[in-house]
Amino acid sequence: MTSLIFEQSQNGRRAHAQIPQQIENSLDLAANLLRQDKPTLPEVSELQVVRHFSRLSQRNFSIDTNFYPLGSCTMKYNPRGVHRLAFLEGFLLHHPLSLEQDSQGFLACLYELQEMLKTVTGMHAVSLTPMAGAQGEFAGVAMIRAYHKSRGDHARVEMLVPDAAHGTNPASAVQCGFKVKEIPTDSNGNVDLNALQKAVGPQTAGIMLTNPSTLGVFEQQILEISKIIHDVGGMLYYDGANFNAIMGKVRPGDMGFNVVHLNLHKTFATPHGGGGPGSGPVAACPKLAPFLPTPMVAKEDMSYRWLTEKDCPETIGRLSTFMGNAGILLRAYMYARLLGREGMQRVAEFASLNANYLLARLTAAGFTPAYAGRRASHEFIITLRNEAKTLSITALDVAKRLLDYGFHAPTMYFPLLVPECLLIEPTETESKEILDAFADTLIQIIQEAQTNPELVKQAPHTLPVRRLDEVKAARELDLVYVKPGEKNSEKKAVVQNTGT
Amino acid sequence: MPFIPHTNEDTQAMLATIGIQKIDDLFNEIPNTLLTADLTSIPSGLSEMELSRLMHARAKQDGGKLCFIGAGAYEHHIPAAVWEIASRGEFLTAYTPYQAEASQGTLQLLYEYQTMMASLMGMELSNASLYDGASALAEAVLMAARLSNKKEKPAILVPRNLHPHYRQVLQSIVGQQDIDLLELDYDSKTGKISVESLTAFADRKLTALIIPQPNFFGGIEEVDALSNWAHEHAVLCIAVVNPIAMALLKPPGQWGKQGADIACGEGQPLGIPLASGGPYYGFLCSRKSFARQMPGRIVGRTVDSEGKTGFVLTLQAREQHIRRAKATSNICTNQGLMVTASTIHMSLLGPAGLRQVALACHHNATLLAKKLQDIVGIKPVFPAPFFHELVIRLPKPSSEVLQKLAKLDIQGGYALNTHYPELGETLLICATETKSAVEIEFLATSLRETLS
Amino acid sequence: MSNVPKKLRYTASHEWVRQDEDLFTVGITDHAQCMLGDLVYAELPELETSFDNGQECAVLESVKAAADVYSPISGEIVEINEAVIENPQLINEDPYGKGWLFRIRPFDPAGAQLLSADQYSKQLASEAH
């Protein structure tokens, strides 16, 4: 394994080219305000740093190097040109608190992105500030809460969430002070309308839905659901995680949704970065628009300006220090400009084509789709429940064996409703050959499970590590490196030398 | 069409396998009444070359300024290696390390980051990042509320000399739950929090006291006295700090007799460019005993089935994908790429280098203050010491001064009139290590001219 | 097939209960520990706190789940099993013995509404489809 960078440190070693000139000055700071010890940062040369982190990068799977069919995450190609242009100095060195007149280039991009997102969602107004899907959800739910409060309606204490929903949905609702009630899903993968009808009432603030749902199928009764909720005075929230399946085909606004969040790091191809940054802009119908989080961007004549709390007195407020994940918004804007209307139209078409093709190949090979007979959206679920019984292998085993073949595993065990499930989303940027190779590999793994089961059950075999002991990690917490012989965060007696 | 590799032959073959005639059939489960999307108002697609032309023009509109604005986002030298490596495809286009065996690069990097950040803060534990400094503070407050044993409604003391945007974000996020946010004014002479002002709250059952270091005005707080007061009154101490400053100033874990309980702040100064305000990242550190109340992802070291060292996401049972409605937070995606860059940055600077940067910032701000004081009409509002930024009072309206400086392509600072009207016409002005003596002189001369 | 000792009583939410004079000793069943997987952490109630019948009073954490433990009766906590805080594996290894969680003094012992071993076994059988 690659040793920790701390283990490669040598006392007094440094990357001289990166350190500013030493200044001989007496400090005007009292001793009790000053740091006396040395923090645990590596003392290494520049080459050591470059080599260490380059080597680490080689121990990762990524879209650039591997097919990554992680369901619900939309792992499509992250365009390089977009990343390079985001690094133009005029954007990179631009301070967020610059005067408006010095921010027109940036504001123009944001304004146009707002407009494009209004168009694709069919909504009335957009705020780009939430920094991830979860923050977008928080904003949307907070807006619903503010709306009811503004009408003097304090009875609306419950938020409805399908039992198949992503965990961020109920978590966000609770963060906004709501009680969560779960609505069951029927055997076709749709929300149970009877259960829904029984669950609504004057206490219903709204419902949070994804469409297509987390089960990979289109919620066909969405207009009925919308009516049930609206009839009791509730609002509909759209979780945009699966927007890649319907962009350019269906608009959430037309389905009856009142507030929508999009995941730009999914649908708009911004880089996933090893776990973020994301971006979760939120779009609203006219009733909820006054509550959108600030700041937003307005256009007046030919110039752009910020909309703040002064312009939006009913806003739920600011959610980030500045303008959310600004650089991600720029990248999403550029991606949308590269695609244009024709390209955007084809995203959902080819995402669905790829998903349905893969589903067809796997079904023909004997795998069990969770919702046979239903059209896949941009993703689908296969359940390995039969294989678990007959071959004693689990979805986890299959996922780990896929890694040996250079494929990142699909999403496992989500949604929670389907046992031993794999949620597979190929995205539109993958070719037919890759899909065939993936299908062939899954078929091969099932054969291995029959002829040489340990190969599957003990996988992965070819990666930097074998299966990791997660129980040990949770029982014996080792979360920071401590130099042998030192106690964690022990005050060290070493007085800092400035520039040896 | 960009990024879609299918040829006509591919498409036909795939349609045949699926058993349908045309692509539109893929959407036949969707009621016709809903297939109404209209993209007409979206402009036609551009080639990369055309996009480049457009973006160069837009970037040029905003570029080429000499920046003396701080106020929560700071310009520092970022070694070229930082983004060369962070932009490697294996880091840039990987996702959350759900399959630990296939993500040892990211996971080990996060473990190294946790080590560096915890140590920089003088604390025992760090998570793998939150969205930004302000939302990290909101999460810190929610964490303190969960940790507090009191039956009463949680009450948090929020100083007015904490960044105004952080206070707004606290209101937006924490305000959704049953938690009181109480305002604590600053001493008008020093710009700092006085222990005397705390005594007014001695009888109130407080949950936490937020202490910024430095404060929004650049001033350096008496953190020992403040954190000791908190602990003497059974109040949790939440530190909000600038990470570069922590290489020079005493870090939260060493404040007072017991150290701060939770430390958070904005990680941007460590290798993240200004970039119009984001993406940045929030760091959150605490005592080890608070681990199960810490929101966000945490990486732990363990072994594999052959006894080899490896890294995994741990304590996931607290997170939304398992605990759902009872999770510590709703956070899922965090700021992985920014943490990657920051870790490389901290590795390049090392402890001596980071301290050197802090010293250079302090030196430049002191030099700036001296030059400005020599200008007739300009007064620093609060006394030294300060770290890399300070507040000056102007004899003319701040907006007018900023406009005149803007004509010389100088961004003279951040006007505080909106957030602190009681201070009059003021600018918060910052000089990090990136400013040369010549540039500081240029600012001073230009200011003198605008005021004459 | 999970172990369901005859002498104990049970709740529908997979707790077991043993009456020791005026106290109820409470833990989770073999079925529950199996579903949770290797336990990594136990958060037990504070002494002298009171809970209603069916109220959440403890949380057990494994790598893949965090499960609430519900009080089987209204009463006050008089004792907790420190051993499982030190060593949560005890709950997996010996759920009915060393893996006990807490002791509660019921406000109304006669009012207990618990399942017999047979009733609980029937419930487990119907849950497994």
Nearest-10 crossing angle of helices B336-373, B104-120: 30
Q: Give the whole-number percent of chain B exceeding pLDDT 90.
A: 89
Which residues of chain A are within 8 Å of residue C43 when distances are taken between CB atoms?
A: none
Which residues in A444-477 are b (16+ Cβ under 10 Å) and which e? ebbebbeeeeeebbebbeebbbbbbbbbbbbbeb
Which chains touch A (3+ CB pairs under 8 A)?
B, C
Write the pLDDT tens digit of every residue in B145-204: 989 866 789 999 999 999 999 999 999 999 988 899 999 999 999 999 999 999 999 888
What is the three-state SS of chain B?
CCCCCCCHHHHHHHHHHHCCCCHHHHHCCCCHHHCCCCCCCCCCCCCHHHHHHHHHHHHHHHCCCEECCCCCCCCCCCCHHHHHHHCCHHHHCCCCCCCHHHEHHHHHHHHHHHHHHHHHCCCCEECCCECCHHHHHHHHHHHHHHHCCCCCCCEEEEECCCCHHHHHHHHHHHCCCCCEEEEECCCCCCCCCCHHHHHCCCCCCCCEEEEEECCCCCECCCHHHHHHHHHHCCCEEEEEECCCHHHCECCHHHCCCCCCCEEEEECCCCCCCCHHHCCCCEEEEECHHHHHHCCCCEEEEEEECCCCEEEEEECHHHCHHHHHHHCCCCCCCCCHHHHHHHHHHHHHHHHHHHHHHHHHHHHHHHHHHHHHHCCCCCEECCCCCECCEEEEECCCCHHHHHHHHHHCCEECCEECCCCCHHHCCEEEEECCCCCCHHHHHHHHHHHHHHHC
Whether residue C30 lies inside any domain: the answer is yes
- Mean pLDDT over the full length of chain B: 94
A479 touching chain C per CB within 8 A: no
Q: Between chain A and chain B, how many beta carbons pairs sit less than 8 Å apart? A: 702
Give B154 to chain C, closest Cα distance, Å: 20
Q: Across the interface, do A250 and B100 touch by the CB < 8 Å criterion? A: no
Which residues of chain C are within 8 Å of residue B292 when distances are taken between CB atoms?
A: 41, 43, 61
C64 → closest Cβ in B292, B322, B326: B322
| Residue C84 structural domain | 9-107
Nearest-10 crossing angle of helices B8-18, A326-364: 50
Whether residue C126 lies inside any domain: the answer is no
pLDDT, average across residues A133-142: 94
Q: Is A308 helix (H, G, I), strand (E, B) or coil?
A: coil
Provide the pLDDT for residue A496: 29
Residue A127's CB: how many other CB atoms inside 10 A?
A: 29
Q: Give the whole-number percent of chain A exceeding pLDDT 70.
A: 96
Handedness of CA C38, C40, C43, C47 (dihedral sign): positive
ipTM value for the complex: 0.96
Write the pLDDT tens digit of every residue in A381-424: 999 999 999 999 999 999 999 999 999 999 987 777 788 999 99
Which residues of chain A are within 8 Å of residue C38 when distances are taken between CB atoms?
A: 471
Phi, psi of B290 (to 5 degrees): -90, 10
Write the pLDDT tens digit of every residue in A412-466: 877 777 889 999 999 999 999 999 999 999 999 999 999 999 999 999 999 999 9
Give A450 to chain B, closest Cα distance, Å: 23
- Mean pLDDT over the full length of chain A: 92
Whether residue C90 lies inside any domain: the answer is yes
Provide the pLDDT for residue A1: 60
pLDDT, average across residues B341-357: 96
Whether residue C96 lies inside any domain: the answer is yes
Give the nearest chain A residue to B400 (CA atoms).
A99
A61 → closest Cβ in B77, B102, B246: B102
Whether residue C40 lies inside any domain: the answer is yes
Give the nearest chain B residue to A461 (CA atoms).
B101
A466 → closest Cβ in B87, B305, B360: B305
pLDDT at B426 over 80: yes
Which chains touch C (3+ CB pairs under 8 A)?
A, B
Q: Across the interface, do A477 and B315 touch by the CB < 8 Å criterion? A: yes
Whether residue C122 lies inside any domain: the answer is no
Q: Where are the domains of chain B?
A: 66-77+350-451, 80-344
Is-same-fold flag (B66-77+350-451; B80-344)?
no
pLDDT, average across residues B198-212: 93
So what's the architecture of B80-344 in CATH?
3-Layer(aba) Sandwich (3.40)
Write the pLDDT tens digit of every residue in A205-246: 999 999 999 888 999 999 999 999 999 999 999 999 999 999
Give C60 to chain B, closest Cα distance, Å: 10
Whether residue C3 lies inside any domain: the answer is no
Domain count, chain C: 1
Write the pLDDT tens digit of every residue in A346-390: 999 999 999 999 999 999 999 999 999 899 999 999 999 999 999
Residue type at position C80: I
Q: Across the interface, do C64 and B318 touch by the CB < 8 Å criterion? A: no
Provide the pLDDT for residue C2: 76
Q: CATH number of the domain that C31 lies in?
A: 2.40.50.100
Which chains touch B (3+ CB pairs under 8 A)?
A, C
Give the nearest chain B residue to C36 (CA atoms).
B317
Which residues of chain B are within 8 Å of residue C61 when distances are taken between CB atoms?
A: 292, 317-318
pLDDT, average across residues B384-397: 94
Give the nearest chain A residue to B250 (CA atoms).
A35
Give C72 to chain A, closest Cα distance, Å: 23
- Residue ranges for chain C with pLDDT beneath 50: 129
pLDDT at B282 over 70: yes
- Measure CA of the first residue to CA of the last residue in chain A; give whole Å: 32
A468 touching chain C per CB within 8 A: no
A254 → closest Cβ in B5, B36, B96: B36
Q: Across the interface, do A473 and B19 touch by the CB < 8 Å criterion? A: no
Write the pLDDT tens digit of every residue in B41-88: 999 999 999 999 999 999 999 999 999 999 999 999 999 999 999 999
Q: How confident is the model at residue A188 (pLDDT cuts 50, 70, 90)?
A: confident
Q: How confident is the model at residue B268 (pLDDT cuts 50, 70, 90)?
A: very high
A64 → closest Cβ in B51, B89, B123: B89
pLDDT, average across residues A48-66: 96
Give the nearest chain C residue to B149 (CA atoms).
C46
Q: Across the interface, do B317 and C43 touch by the CB < 8 Å criterion? A: no
Which residues of chain A are within 8 Å of residue B281 when distances are taken between CB atoms?
A: 277
Q: How confident is the model at residue A499 (pLDDT cuts 50, 70, 90)?
A: very low
Write the pLDDT tens digit of every residue in B107-146: 999 999 999 999 999 999 999 999 999 999 999 999 999 8
Whether residue C53 lies inside any domain: the answer is yes
Query: Which superfamily is assigned to B66-77+350-451 in CATH?
Result: Aspartate Aminotransferase, domain 1 (3.90.1150.10)
C88 touching chain A per CB within 8 A: yes
pLDDT at A493 over 50: no
C86 touching chain A per CB within 8 A: no
Write the pLDDT tens digit of every residue in C59-77: 999 887 888 999 999 999 9
Which residues of chain B are within 8 Å of residue A339 when distances are taken between CB atoms?
A: 1-2, 45
pLDDT, average across residues B306-331: 81
C40 touching chain A per CB within 8 A: yes
pLDDT at A500 over 60: no
